[in-house]
Amino acid sequence: MAESSESKLRLIERHIRAFQNFPKEGILFRDICPILKNPACLTAVMDLLEEHVRNNHQQVDLIVGLDARGFLFGPLLAQRLGVGFVLVRKKGKLPGATVSVAYNLEYGKAEVEVQEDAVTAGQKVLIIDDLLATGGTMHAACELMKKQQAEVLGCMVIVELKDLKGTDRLKDQKVFSLIQY
């Protein structure tokens, strides 16, 4: 008998650890590493992400994963859906011609990039990462995909930190999160 979505979510939630004051004082860090260590839990994550995509997006051409934890879930989801996977990396990490977008962080600036030929104009993409906090990196990835003339269907994360209001930065996007804190 198939496991229910609710029981899968409970399993996932049990495998997310909280660490006080990491990486600095005042931060409550949500650690997804135990999900990766547990095959049943990782399967539950992938089942729920796949179910969401199949129920909400009739056509997807590419899954776009954010550096670095989007690289853990994105290829697995892409394989299940039978579509390609594209990496969005921090500036300077990709070979060949790239397209980049700079964005502001609370403590400075950052830049993400994609290989120039990774996405074709008009392709329908879903962007994935492990966690949505303030939304800066996810927003930059959306802007990068728009720069490539791709159609961003939505953004997906395992964990959303609601208090940090990351969805406010992604007003133009549908955001799907498995677990919210």
Distances (CA, A) of 166 to 45, 121, 146, 177: 21, 27, 19, 12
77 SS3 class: helix
In the prediction, which pLDDT does 3 show? 84
Q: Is 25 among the catalytic positions?
A: no
Query: For residues 142 and 173, is the Cβ–Cβ distance under 8 A?
Result: yes
The rounded distance, in Å, linking the Cα atoms of 128 and 159 is 11
Q: Among 3, 17, 69, 160, which one carries the catalytic annotation?
A: 69
Catalytic pick among 13, 14, 50, 106? 106
Model pLDDT, residue 2 = 67
pLDDT number for residue 27: 93
100: enclosing H helix or E strand? strand 98-105
* CA gyration radius, the chain: 16
- pLDDT tens, the chain, 181 aa long: 468 999 999 999 999 999 999 999 999 999 999 999 999 999 999 999 999 999 999 999 999 999 999 999 999 999 999 999 999 999 999 999 999 999 988 778 999 999 999 999 999 999 999 999 999 999 999 999 999 999 999 999 999 999 999 999 999 999 999 999 9
Question: What's the CA gap between 67 and 158, in Å, rounded?
Answer: 15
Question: Which residues are 20's β-sheet partners?
Answer: 28
Listed by start position, the domains of the chain span: 5-180
Q: What is the number of residues in the chain?
A: 181
Helix, strand and coil in the chain, % to nearest 5: 35, 35, 30
The CB density around residue 25, as the number of other CB atoms within 10 Å, is 7
89 is catalytic: no
Alpha-carbon distance 160 to 84, whole Å? 25
Furthest-apart CA pair in the chain: how many Å? 50
Which top CATH class is 5-180? alpha beta
Query: Could you read off the pLDDT of 2-17 as tens digits, one per residue?
Result: 689 999 999 999 999 9
Mention every residue, 6+ apart, whose C-beta is less than 8 A from residue 24.
none
